[in-house]
Amino acid sequence: MIQLLFLVLFAEGAAALLLMVKIGPLRELAMRGVEQAKDGKGPAAVKTLACTLLVIFMSSVASILRIQNRGIKLGTVSPMDQVLWRTHLLEASLIGYILFLAFVIDRLHHYHRKLTILKKAANTSREEVEKLQIELQGKEDKSKEVKKLRAELASLSEKMKKLKSESEEHERQRLEAEAHVNALQKQSEELLLEYDRLLEDNQILQTQVLSLRS
């Protein structure tokens, strides 16, 4: 179970990295993969998987609390309970990171789509501004037409400023998401080290239990 959770976590980390860093056509492939997950029966499957992970997460948290309460009542925690407590804690942490990374990937995909739309709108506005500038040069002798075109040009300039401001805001949000992903990747490395240490502790505890039984 834990190995599968690590595999899912690494897969989500790779997808988030591809969405953040443009490496040839890999970002487009990642975008298409996320879009396919959002089309057709994808959303239902994703929601079912998310609900399943959430149930497992709540079960792990409940097990952690139950072991802690038993330890408080007895005044001590058995070695087996310690192993179970650490295992449930690791599972809950991994599931939490997986759910958070899924949310980050969804937001990154949303921001990339918004940025693409904003860039297209900015290019269209730029073309319209250039067209209006050409028209202004040919109609300078008509004062009314010039005033009207200048008003349209000012309106388009304001729209471009607004689009630029929205683009900068989405870029800032994307950078924040990247910072979160980097922090999660660092925590994942720490979890790997903790998992290795837990395996060693588990082997030592099993040896001790076998020696006590014999």
Residue 144 within any structural domain of the chain: no
Specify the number of domains making up the chain: 1
Residue 68 within any structural domain of the chain: yes
Residue 63 within any structural domain of the chain: yes
Q: DSSP letters of 68-136?
A: HHHHHHHSS--HHHHHHHHHHHHHHHHHHHHHHHHHHHHHHHHHHHHHHHHHHHHHHHHHHHHHHHHHH
Residue 159 within any structural domain of the chain: no
Tell me: the pLDDT tens digits for 187-208?
878 888 887 888 888 888 888 8
Asked which of 35-49, 91-105, 142-156 is least confident by mean pLDDT, the reply is: 35-49
Residue 166 within any structural domain of the chain: no
Residue 170 within any structural domain of the chain: no
First vs last C-alpha separation in the chain: 30
pLDDT, residue 79, reads 79
What are the structure tokens assigned to 156, written together?
């388009």
pLDDT, residue 18, reads 76
Residue 137 within any structural domain of the chain: no
Domain of residue 55, residue span: 1-122
CA angle 143, 149, 154 (to 5 degrees): 125
- Mean residue pLDDT across the chain: 79
Q: For residue 84, what pLDDT band results from cuts at 50, 70 and 90? A: confident
Tell me: the pLDDT tens digits for 85-117?
788 788 888 888 888 888 888 788 788 788 888
Residue 28 within any structural domain of the chain: yes
